[in-house]
């Protein structure tokens, strides 16, 4: 038996068309990234934004949960990094260089994120979830579950409107 040696390991790349095709009547729970089945993709709040964007490209995702000291403190999307937020941050801060901008500077903080309870999501259908996100103008939605042992909440899942739209598109007409 030969032993393989590698300089390092990489996480598998997710396909952009991730997720099964769904009909509007399918359970909404099939349309979210459920963290009881898949590992959440995270980024440190102090990471430089271009590095975070590169992480998203490599992992095939458009959003990362932001953590600081082992707690989720927000969400950052590729649109946040590539849109107006970095420019607005530089204009209103003492920072002058794009390379000095960290994820924490432009993320959506936890208390500003739209959150849905798992108990509310469970009876919903995929079409209802898309309608909810469209009506509220949400690109992403955090799904939480209360922890019975403590007074905190567990981040159970993440819903992506773009992914849900792709899942609901039928290839046949």
pTM value is: 0.82
> Both tokens of residue 80?
């946040």
Q: What Cα–Cα distance (Å) separates residue 90 from each residue in 97, 98, 101, 103, 115?
A: 8, 8, 8, 13, 29
148: Cβ contacts below 8 Å, ≥ 6 apart: none
Strand pairing report for 153-160 and 33-34: antiparallel
pLDDT of residue 70: 86
* Among 57, 29, 26, residue whose Cα is nearest residue 41: 57
> Both tokens of residue 154?
């567990």
Please state which CATH number belongs to domain 28-168: 3.10.580.10
Determine whether 146 is exposed, middle or buried from the number of CB atoms within 10 Å of its CB (0-12, 13-18, 19+).
middle
Question: pLDDT tens for residues 130-153?
Answer: 999 999 999 999 999 987 776 778
pLDDT of residue 158: 95
Query: What length is written for the chain?
Result: 173
Return the SS3 of 50: helix
Question: pLDDT tens for residues 29-77?
Answer: 999 999 999 888 999 999 999 999 999 999 988 999 999 998 999 999 9
Return the SS3 of 170: coil
pLDDT of residue 119: 94
Distance CA(68)–CA(19), nearest Å, equals: 29
Contact between 110 and 74 (Cβ < 8 Å): yes
pLDDT of residue 10: 55
pLDDT of residue 14: 47
């Amino acid at each position: 038996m030969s032993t393989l040696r590698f300089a390092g390991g990489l996480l598998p790349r997710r396909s952009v068309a991730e997720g099964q095709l769904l009909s509007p009547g399918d359970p909404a729970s099939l349309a979210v990234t459920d963290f009881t089945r898949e590992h959440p993709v995270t980024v440190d709040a102090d990471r430089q934004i271009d590095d975070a964007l590169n992480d998203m490209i490599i992992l095939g995702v458009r959003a990362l949960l932001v953590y600081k000291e082992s707690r989720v403190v927000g969400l950052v999307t590729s649109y946040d990094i590539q849109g107006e937020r970095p420019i607005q941050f530089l204009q209103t801060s003492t920072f002058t260089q794009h390379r000095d901008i960290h994820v924490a500077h432009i993320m959506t903080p936890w208390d500003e994120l739209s959150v849905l309870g798992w108990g509310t999501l469970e009876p919903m259908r995929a079409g209802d979830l898309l309608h909810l996100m469209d009506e509220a103008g949400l690109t992403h939605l955090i799904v939480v579950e209360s922890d019975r042992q403590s007074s905190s909440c567990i981040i159970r899942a993440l819903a992506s409107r773009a992914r849900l739209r792709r899942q609901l598109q039928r290839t046949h007409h």
